[in-house]
Amino acid sequence: MNRRSVVNRFELAREELIQSLRAKGIRDENVLDAIAKVPRQMFVSPLFASRAYEDTALPIDCNQTISQPFTVAMMTQLLKVRKGDKVLEVGTGSGYQAALLATMGARVFTIERYPELMKKAEERFKKLGLKIATRVGDGSVGWSRFAPFDKIMVTAGAPEVPRSLMQQLKDGGIMVIPVGDRKVQTMFLVERRGKEFFTREVDGFRFVPLVGKEGWQD
C-alpha cells in the first residue's frame, strides 16, 4: 500500500470514529475538531497503528494505556476547555490527551511518572509543533510552581481526590478525575467556587492507577 492510500485510510477511519463519538453523545465541536486534527496513529506503537481509530484503549510502553477515544472526548468535553485556559494534565502517557488540549488552544502542563513515556511524548509534541510544558514526577501532588490552573484533568484512577490538586484549582475552575478502587472508578467532576468544592459523579470508567504520595502506593 502506498503512503497516500495509508493516509487516506487513516483519514477515513478518523472520520468514522468522529461520527461514532457524535452518536455516543460528544457534542463539543472544539473537541471533535481537535480529534479530527491530531493523528492518533502517531501516539501508539507501529504495531497498533492500524487500530488507532478503534474506540478502544490500546497498550503503550511501561504497561500503561492510551485511553479509549470516547473517554478522552468525554473528559475533555466535561472540562469545557476555552482558548488560553491553563490546564494541568496528570498522566501524560502517550501524550495524545495533552496534544488534543494544546490543539484546542489551551496552555498545557503535563506530568508523567515514567521518564520513558515522557521522552516519547515529548518527541511527538515536537514533531507536531506543539508547545507543552512537561515534567517527570508524581502528579498526584500537582505542579505548585505553575498553579493555580483553570482546569485539571487526571487520566489515572485515584483512591480519592488529591487535596493538593484541589488547592491548585482556580476559583471557578473545573477538575475531572476518575475516583474509585484499583479496578473500577467513577468520573468525578469537581468545581471550585471560592473555598467550596462541588462534586458531581458522571459515569463508570476504567483507568490504570494513579500511583503516588496522594494516590495509590506502588
Q: What whole-number distance in Å separates Cα of residue 188 and Cα of residue 206?
A: 13
Catalytic residue (choose from 67, 94, 140, 164): 67
DSSP notation for 13-45? HHHHHHHHHHHTT---HHHHHHHHHS-GGGGS-
- Taking CB under 6 A as the rule, does residue 178 contact ligand SAM? no
- Taking CB under 6 A as the rule, does residue 211 contact ligand SAM? yes
- 67 is an active site residue: yes
HSE (side-chain half, CA atoms, 13 Å) at 14: 18
Q: What whole-number distance in Å separates Cα of residue 214 and Cα of residue 218?
A: 11
Of 101 and 190, the one with the shorter C-beta distance to ligand SAM is: 101
Q: What whole-number distance in Å separates Cα of residue 80 and Cα of residue 78?
A: 6
Residue selected from 21, 32, 73, 93 as contacting ligand SAM according to rule CB under 6 A:
93
Q: What whole-number distance in Å separates Cα of residue 96 and Cα of residue 68?
A: 11
Of 21 and 90, the one with the shorter C-beta distance to ligand SAM is: 90
Site for ligand SAM in 20-49 (CB under 6 A): none
- Strands 185-193 and 196-205 turn out to be antiparallel
Of 78 and 171, the one with the shorter C-beta distance to ligand SAM is: 78
- Minimum distance of ligand SAM from residue 115's CB (angstroms): 10
For ligand SAM, which stretch binds (CB under 6 A), given 11-19, 32-40, 79-87, 109-117?
A: 109-117
- Taking CB under 6 A as the rule, does residue 66 contact ligand SAM? yes
Alpha helices (runs of H) in 52-182, residue ranges in sequence order = 69-79, 96-103, 115-128, 163-167
Which positions touch ligand SAM (CB under 6 A)? 64-67, 90-91, 93-94, 96-97, 111-114, 117, 138-140, 155-156, 207-208, 210-212, 215
